Amino acid sequence: MELRNLKGTEDFLFKDQVVRNKIIDTLKQNFEKYGYMPIETPILNYYDLLALKYEEGDEILNEIYRLSDQGNRDIGLRYDLTVPFCKVVGMQKELRLPFRRYEIGKVFRNGPVKLGRTREFYQCDVDVVGIDGRLIETEQIVMAIEIFKCLGIDINVLYNNRKFMNGLLIEAGISNPTFGVIGILDKLDKVDRKTIYKMFNDEGIDNSIVDNIFNIFGKSLDEYNVLYKDSSNELLKNGLNELNDVTDSLKKLNYLDNITFDSYLSRGLEIYTGIVFEFRDKLKRLTGSLGAGGRYDKIITNFINDGNVYPAVGLSFGLEPIYVILKNEEKFSLVDYYIIPMNTEIECLELASKMRDKGKRVLIEMNNRKIKKSFDYANKENIPYVIVIGENEIKENKITIKNMNEGSQEMIDIDEFLRRI
C-alpha cells in the first residue's frame, strides 16, 4: 500500500506546527482582549442545516463533504464556522445578547486546491450577535489590523457595502440583482471585458446595462459622495452613509493608511447585508485574501424565526494563507536553553528542573555528541542559548553560557543565573 495524503490535506511537522501554534495563540490572545469568548461546535452536522443559508445550485453546496451515518442520516462536514454559530444562538435560549464568540477549528471544502487554499483547513472566526450600528464593524477592522501587526504582517483592508452595491446596480438598470450578478462584480477588475460581458449575458443582462455597470463602478468614495449626494435611491444612500461612518471612524483612529474603498468588492457569499471587508498582504506575497468578513443581519434572524431581529457581524482569519507567509519569514525554536553535560549529567538534570520551574524550555544533550556537533545542532535548531557544564564549573558552582545569536559567551554563578531568568 502506498502511503500518501489525500489531495488538499497536509501533515505539519514540528517546525511548521510551531509557526501555526504561534498564529493561533496570537489570535486567541487578541480575541479575548476584545471580549470574545471561546466556544466549540461539532464538525459533523445535518446536511439540511449546512445547506439552509444557500439556494440549490450555489457553488458552496457542491463543495460540502456529504455522507450518511449508520442511521442513514444525511449529514455533512462543516464548511465554515458561521452556520454552527448561528445554530448555537438558536438553540441556546439562555444566551444574553450581545454575544461575542470566537472559534478556531477545522472546516472542510471539496473545492479547488492552490497555494494557501486546501480542502481541510482551519478557520479562526470572531462573531458578535445583537449589535447594530457601525461601531462594531469599525472595531473589528481595527482588531484585524492590530492582530496582523502582532504577526508582523502589514495589511490593506478592502471594504465596501452590499446595500451600496445593490443601489449602484439599481442605478445601472438592475432592480433585483441575483446572487450570480453580485458574484460577477467581484471580477470586474480582474477579468477581461469580453468575458465579463458573457458572464452578465448568461445571467440575462443585456450589453447596454453592462455598459452602465462599467461606467458606474470603479470610482472613489469621494466621487460617489458627490455624485449621489441628493439621490432618491434610499438603498444606495443608506449604504453610502454606512461607508462614510466607518471611513470617518477609521480616519479619526489613524487607520486610513490601512484601508481602501473598493466598489467591486462583494465577498461572494449571499449572506452579507451591509459592510463587507477583506484583508490583503501589502507586500503581495499571496494574491488571495488573508481573511474577510462583514455584516449579516438576516441569517440568524431567519434561522430562529421567532419574530425578533438578530443583527450580526463577523470576520474570519485564514490560518493557511497566514502560515504560508510566515513559515519562511521567521526562525522559531521549541527550546530556550540547550545544556551540554561534561560528565555532569545529574547536575544538569538538577539545573534543568530549576529552569523549567521558571517557565524555561530546556533540552539536555543525551547522545554524547562532541562539543562541536552539539553546537552545530543548537545552531541548526535555532536554539538561542547553549549552556556547558563541566566538572570544574560544578566545583565553582558556575556555568558557561553562550548566546548563539550574538556569539558572546560568559561564565556565571549558577545562583545568579537562576535569579536572572
Tell me the pLDDT band of 267, cut-offs 50, 70 and 90: confident
Residue 268: the pLDDT is 65
- Least confident among 94-98, 136-140, 276-280: 94-98
Rounded to whole angstroms, how far apart are CA atoms 121 and 370? Answer: 42
- Environment class of 94 (CB within 10 Å of its CB; exposed 0-12, middle 13-18, buried 19+): exposed
How many Cβ atoms are within 10 Å of 329's Cβ, its own excluded?
Answer: 11
Q: What percent of the chain is modeled with pLDDT above 90? A: 71
Q: 145: buried, middle or exposed (CB in 10 Å: 19+, 13-18, 0-12)?
A: buried
Strands 362-364 and 337-341: parallel
3-state secondary structure of 5: coil
Confidence of residue 331 (pLDDT cuts 50, 70, 90): low
pLDDT at 332 over 90: no
A 10 A CB-CB count for 107 gives 19
pTM score, two decimals? 0.83
Residue with cell 453610502: 240
Q: What domains can be seen in the chain, in order of their start residue?
A: 14-326 (3.30.930.10), 337-420 (3.40.50.800)
Tell me the pLDDT tens digit for each residue of 68-87.
Answer: 999 999 999 999 998 899 99
What is residue 52's predicted lDDT score, i.e. its pLDDT? 78
17: helix, strand or coil: helix
pLDDT reported for residue 113: 87
Identify the burial level of 317 via C-beta atoms within 10 angstroms of its C-beta, where 0-12 means exposed, 13-18 middle and 19 or more buried. Answer: buried
Q: How far is CA 166 from the centre of its chain?
A: 27
DSSP 230-288: T---HHHHHHHHHHHHHHHHHHHTT-GGGEEE-TT---S-TT--SEEEEEEETT-SSSS
CB of 386 closer than 8 Å to CB of 399: no
Question: What per-residue confidence (pLDDT) applies to 47?
Answer: 94
Find which of 130-134, 313-317, 327-331 is predicted with most confidence, using mean pLDDT: 313-317
Give the whole-angstrom CA distance, residue 98 versus residue 100.
7
Give yes or no for a contact between 304 and 90, defined as CB atoms under 8 angstroms apart.
yes
- Stretch 22-28: mean pLDDT: 96
Report the greatest alpha carbon distance in the chain: 91
Instruction: Give 334-350 pLDDT, tens digit per residue.
Output: 899 999 999 999 999 99
Structure confidence by residue, pLDDT tens digits, 167-200: 999 999 998 877 778 888 888 777 888 888 898 8
Reply yes or no on whether the pLDDT at 56 is more than 60: no
Q: Is the Cα dihedral 108, 113, 117, 118 positive or negative?
A: positive
Q: Cα separation of 37 and 282, whole Å? A: 30
Give the pLDDT confidence of 360-409 residue by residue, as tens digits: 999 999 998 899 999 999 998 889 999 999 999 999 999 999 999 999 99
pLDDT at res. 60: 76
Confidence at residue 129, expressed as pLDDT on a 0 to 100 scale: 96
- Whether the per-residue pLDDT at 279 is higher than 90: the answer is yes
DSSP category for residue 360:
-
Q: Give the three cell numbers for residue 220.
A: 472613489
Average pLDDT value for residue range 151-161: 96
Question: At 385, is the secondary structure helix, strand, or coil?
Answer: strand
Looking at the predicted structure, is the pLDDT value of residue 269 above 80? no
Q: Which residue has the cell 477592522?
A: 141
Top pLDDT among 416 and 15 is at: 416
Residues found in the chain? 421
- Convert the pLDDT of each residue in 350-368 to its tens digit: 999 999 999 999 999 999 8
Long-range own/partner contacts, residues 47-54 (CB < 8 A, 24 or more apart): 47/74, 47/75, 47/76, 48/74, 49/83, 49/87, 50/76, 50/78, 50/79, 50/83, 51/76, 52/83, 52/303, 53/83, 53/86, 53/270, 53/271, 53/299, 53/302, 54/270
Residue 58 pLDDT > 80: no
| Segment 218-243, tens digit of pLDDT | 999 999 999 998 899 999 999 999 99
d(CA 108, CA 55): 19
Q: What does the alpha-carbon distance between residue 200 and residue 205 come to, in Å, rounded to a whole number?
A: 5
Share of the chain above pLDDT 70, in %: 97
